[in-house]
Copies of this chain bind each other. A is one copy, B any other.
């Protein structure tokens, strides 16, 4: 058994049974091993950023890592932006990168580059396997590293001769340590602050945004009068009927500061101290006021659910009535397309158990708020700010959860970073409805141009934010890759087409013309 087969068997035995791949020559032995090993689903993508973004979406929903398979330094490079996003979301990924045979690196062939150097800024763990007898153990170590709480990108570099030489057979994956439970002292400190009657907010992130975390946090806040809120961007949140509804801290600096003003205690549960997404001249980086104390109940890598349980016990909040939402979806909006009407219809249309991927950016500013009493669903967002994640993340989420409909709320500019994802969605028959909001611009940047204080903005600058010369025909683009698609210009057609997309097996794209 060669090194490649030893590695693939290690991955499958270690629970890594999905691989998002764009392989080349150096990875051919890994590819050939797929036919000799049962249990690995290998998903071909047309661009490496789709592999890494799909692995992120997969990890969030499957709660375990997928592998990638990338071709040397440049193939890794193409995947780095979505590894950045995955890193910020603490998504576990076993990121496998082929390299030249070890002895061939001396010759500086065209594809030679410093792969470890390129990987390190976007990986929590990096290792180059030295030979075929070690590659299985290195693969096992990569799985363990990826799964170490809160989850991270583990990059394993695979020189071609470690794949084709005789290997040592599969290796076992070491048990991954459980999340650390927080100390009773910390529970008591937070309980005391919340019990004080002073203005307080519980800010949720990470695992605290799952159904049980929301439930506990809802009871705790109901009991103590503390406000409850989620961080600005959420990697994954359970939402809709049966889940405690929480708003997200606003993105604009002034709104965020107003929301946090006057707080004496800000309790962080799987979240971090809120900071501005970007700096702006004459605006602070920190969103809370100087008078606010930060109390960490649980860091991202700690057991937030256990901490919330104990805090609820400490505060005698377990018996408080559930704060979960009832199923009262809004009615369908009709008439002209506006942000408000889109929010309303989406709240009505989200199907039970849907996965909503949100890269709707400026058009979608109000979407989240409209879904708290919709059908129960899961909401995913970009955690790293590198746009272009939506299409790949929807792809990976659909692979992880074949029985759940995926609704991808997608802005036009960000869609064009990885539009090739549609091809993989057809190939794999994924039930993804992409709702493409076409406003023919990087609309968010028009706002940012003002906020950073740019003066006397003229035509050349505004041209850099304009996607209307030429207009992109997303319906035609989708069809060119085999995706059924329709364009809508009224809410009436929007309602019909989104419903049709959700009811149609395989991918579907609804292009929404935004005025």
Contacts and interface: CB of A to CB of B under 8 A. Distances in A.
Contact of A164 (B73, B103, B452, B456): B452
Contact of A233 (B110, B277, B476): B110
A318 to B, nearest CB: 34
A80 B74 contact: yes
Contact of A24 (B44, B420, B445, B471): B445
Interface stretch (A34-42, A183-191, A211-219): A34-42
A113 interface: yes
A108 B275 contact: yes
A248 to B, nearest CB: 14
A74 B78 contact: no
Given A121-B117, A277-B111, A471 B461 contact: no
A385 to B, nearest CB: 4
Nearest to A466: B44
Number of copies: 2
Contacts of A416: 46-47, 420, 423
Interface stretch (A279-287, A303-311, A497-505): A279-287
Could you say which interface size class chain A belongs to? Answer: 35 or more
Interface stretch (A351-359, A364-372, A391-399, A477-485): A477-485
Nearest to A483: B470
A470 B455 contact: no
A111 B78 contact: no
Contacts of A113: 84, 121-122
A115 B120 CA distance: 11
Interface stretch (A25-33, A167-175, A193-201, A254-262): A25-33
A250 interface: no
A464 interface: yes
Contacts of A88: 110
Interface string A374-399: 00000000011110100000000000
Contacts of A115: 121
A32 B461 contact: yes
B279 A101 contact: yes
Contact of A84 (B73, B278, B463, B476): B73
A410 to B, nearest CB: 14
Given A122-B77, A277-B109, A449 B104 contact: no
A118 B417 CA distance: 20
A165 to B, nearest CB: 8
Nearest to A111: B385
A478 to B, nearest CB: 8
A177 interface: no
Contacts of A427: 469-470
B110 A460 contact: no
A179 B122 CA distance: 38
Interface string A421-436: 0010011000000000
B285 A103 contact: yes
A306 to B, nearest CB: 26
A482 B471 contact: yes
Given A44-B464, A47-B416, A26 B278 contact: yes
A237 interface: no
A276 interface: yes
A460 B472 CA distance: 35
Given A23-B445, A118-B80, A29 B463 contact: no
A114 B118 contact: no
Contacts of A272: 108
Contacts of A121: 73, 113-115, 117-118
A515 interface: no
Interface in A236-262: none
A298 interface: no
A23 B456 contact: no
A454 B80 contact: no
B78 A460 contact: no
B445 A104 contact: no
B110 A385 contact: yes
A419 interface: yes
B100 A423 contact: no
Contacts of A104: 275-276, 278-279, 285
Interface of A: 21, 23-26, 28-29, 31-32, 34-36, 42, 44, 46-47, 49, 72-75, 77-78, 80-81, 84-85, 88, 100-101, 103-104, 106-111, 113-115, 117-118, 120-122, 160-161, 164, 233, 272-273, 275-279, 281, 285-286, 383-386, 388, 413, 416-417, 419-420, 423, 426-427, 445, 448-449, 451-461, 463-464, 466-467, 469-477, 479-482
14 contacts: A23-B445, A23-B464, A28-B448, A42-B463, A49-B78, A78-B78, A100-B278, A104-B275, A106-B285, A109-B385, A423-B472, A472-B482, A473-B480, A473-B481
